Amino acid sequence: MIPDEYAVLFSRIDSLKEELTKRRPLTQGELKQLQEEFLVEFTYNSNAIEGNTLTLQETAMVLEGITIDKKPLKDHLEAVGHRDAFHYVQQLVSNHEAFSEKVIKDIHSLVLIDMPEDRGVYRRIPVKIMGAFHEPPQPYLVPIEMEQLVAEFENTKLHPIEIAALFHLKFEGVHPFIDGNGRTGRLILNFTLMQNAYPPINVKFADRRRYYECFDMYYRDDTAEPMVRMVAEYVQERLEEYLKLLIE
């Protein structure tokens, strides 16, 4: 059942998706080029949102194995970890792997390459999200809430875009790990989209204020609509980009 406020938006996106599947597919070479470009942009933006100082160009260079002078090792490791985590997500999707807490912890283990003791481990101390309206649950509640969260989304009948956006809101609210929650959450968001044959999206660093406001609107005003619309707009943008390439 699609809520009325999303009906037009989801219908437009699903029409674009259908049109894309009917068209001549891209060659393996073209697809590889587009995927590599997306991965660099996704890695740069997702890491930049969390304070990584590498530029887009520097991120591309690091992913090619080049060390950037005067940039912290941590920033280099975050780029490599994020790339490896996205490749893992692609592998999960191509193998039709089911979503689970193990998948979440495995993604996080790859993301948090620079913090070996905290990789794939739920936090054991309370945390506060600076400047956020919402306060995450106490550490003893995290395993219970994560188990419930995964179970809730296994049985939902919502549209995949709404599922992806809602899970992202709730996952970041639980804030299950000591670090790397944002990057892990955006990778899970893309896992959900890709599982349902939508393109992965790239939440841009330039849009971070709107992105953060989506969380406050959810936890303060009890509305998921801003996040659902933001995710949907990004999906639509990527589908239109692919169609433009095939038409030209």
Q: Residue 120: pLDDT above 90?
A: yes
- What's the pLDDT score for residue 31? 81
Q: Which residues contact 226 (CB under 8 A, 6 or more apart)?
A: 210, 213, 214, 217, 218
* 76 closest CA partner among 124, 116, 113: 113
State how far the Cα of 211 lies from the Cα of 239, in Å rounded to an integer: 21
State how far the Cα of 101 lies from the Cα of 157, in Å rounded to an integer: 20
Out of 82, 159, 168, 175, the active site residue is 175
For the entire predicted model, the pTM comes to 0.95
State how far the Cα of 47 lies from the Cα of 39, in Å rounded to an integer: 12
- What's the pLDDT score for residue 171? 98
* 60 closest CA partner among 39, 91, 89: 39
**Each residue's pLDDT tens digit, 124-142:** 999 887 777 788 999 999 9
Q: Is 175 a catalytic residue?
A: yes
Q: Residue 241: pLDDT above 70?
A: yes
**Each residue's pLDDT tens digit, 156-210:** 889 999 999 999 999 999 999 999 999 999 999 999 999 999 999 999 999 999 9
- DSSP helix/strand/coil, 58: helix
- DSSP assignment letter at 137: P
29, 248 contact by CB (below 8 A): no
**Each residue's pLDDT tens digit, 9-63:** 999 999 999 998 888 777 788 888 888 999 999 999 999 999 999 999 999 999 9
What domains can be seen in the chain, in order of their start residue? Answer: 7-247 (1.10.3290.10)
